Structure 1
């Protein structure tokens, strides 16, 4: 059923009739797990070990040649045929279209939602990730402060954009929780949970972001994936 994806040889499906998720609980991984939970879709999660470099194995790269998590195989794509898919933003759009949830049907609102999804994909994710690298991980050993200050400043700028967007809005798109929120909250959460950068980034200066993040984390789907 899943040919030509040899990934299933390394991570066999217990139930090949449901969505197969290959992931780790990084911010990008959490996006897709949260979306699957929000949509109520049955799925089977396979842990890809970074310590064993499994994301660069031939089996994993049969599905994602870029060697990055997350990736999915849906045995029942929208045309009835199996679909393998990677890149978290693409997966969120696919699942939203498959279920008709978390993306507006109105064309203008739909593309504005995708616009804010791309803001996360092209801005929040890469810049927060680089900040975390130089603040908390391997890059923290570099004495030259330039890289850290560069990514700290860009992270704060992006937080300012998000904070202003959330002024007088419950969610990024207003009254409706969408894939824009699902894509973004795992990365904002990472600033404190993984990078321990609350004081460094002066996160108290972004009260709308804090309020919004707490609402995201209170959702039952978010609770489920974080306690998995």
Structure 2
């Protein structure tokens, strides 16, 4: 690919500023963490709202560019070797942008690997398990009569919250200093409480550190902005 017009997605979402990074997202926990990261590092970007229903020509163009057909995704017009590059998966996008910009939010030395470790923990555990919890306790999964999957994901969500709670003991942030680990993890904790009402299903009262951690994170201006990036039209 030598220009943005080579990517099928640009037929449905024409670039507003072709020289800027192009973000395709929806303000879910996965989408929010990329817009928040971009807000924090100050890299110019344009954001395009991509809904859950990717049918029709828009859906075909999105999938032709990003095979997993999930948000968030980006096109960097100034990718490796100066060539445009499309990238999906929020964890990969975070690490790519961190390497591209050298952001201090990755921390340094051994702490850098701690940040990567907790980003991977969110990708492999917290995000998928919280998502399954929401499905079985709030959405279509509630129609499943077998209680085993519902309880399975409730227990795993509770376990993961206790892991996070233990890591936060004596710390304000996951790796001590505010970092990309927090931007990766905290939006999912917020969604677990705000949208899934998960705190009503787990032993939330026993958590010594997570509730205060969540309130600290919610107060960050970049997070408050990212909750409406890209803007969702009012119904």
Give the drift of 1:153: 0.3
- What is the distance in 1 between the residues matched to 2:130 and 2:57? 22
Deviations 1:135-182 (A, max 9, x none): 1111012122111100000000000000000000111111x2111111
Contact 1:55/1:67 (<8 A) preserved:
no
Contact 1:48/1:54 (<8 A) preserved:
no
Normalising by the residue count of structure 1, what TM-score does the alignment of the two structures yield? 0.93
- What is the distance in 2 between the residues matched to 1:12 and 1:73? 12
* Correspondences of 1:16-165 after superposition (within 5 Å): 16-53=18-55, 57-101=59-103, 102-106=105-109, 108-165=110-167
SS at match of 1:84: strand
SS at match of 1:79: helix
Deviations 1:16-69 (A, max 9, x none): 111111111111111101111111121111111213547982211222101111
> Mind listing any 5+ residue stretches in structure 2 that lack a counterpart?
230-235
Normalising by the residue count of structure 2, what TM-score does the alignment of the two structures yield? 0.91
Matched residue, 1:180? 181
CA RMSD of aligned residues (A): 1.7
How many residue pairs are counted as aligned between the two chains?
226
SS at match of 2:81: coil
Contact 1:55/1:69 (<8 A) preserved:
no
Give the drift of 1:117: 0.5
Give the drift of 1:79: 3.4
> Mind listing any 5+ residue stretches in structure 1 that lack a counterpart?
none
Matched residue, 1:208? 209
Q: Pick 1 or 2: higher relative contact order, CA cutoff 8 A, min separation 6.
A: 2
Q: How has the CA–CA distance of structure 1 residues 177 and 18 changed in structure 2, closer, same or farther, with 3 Å as cutoff?
A: same
SS at match of 1:68: coil
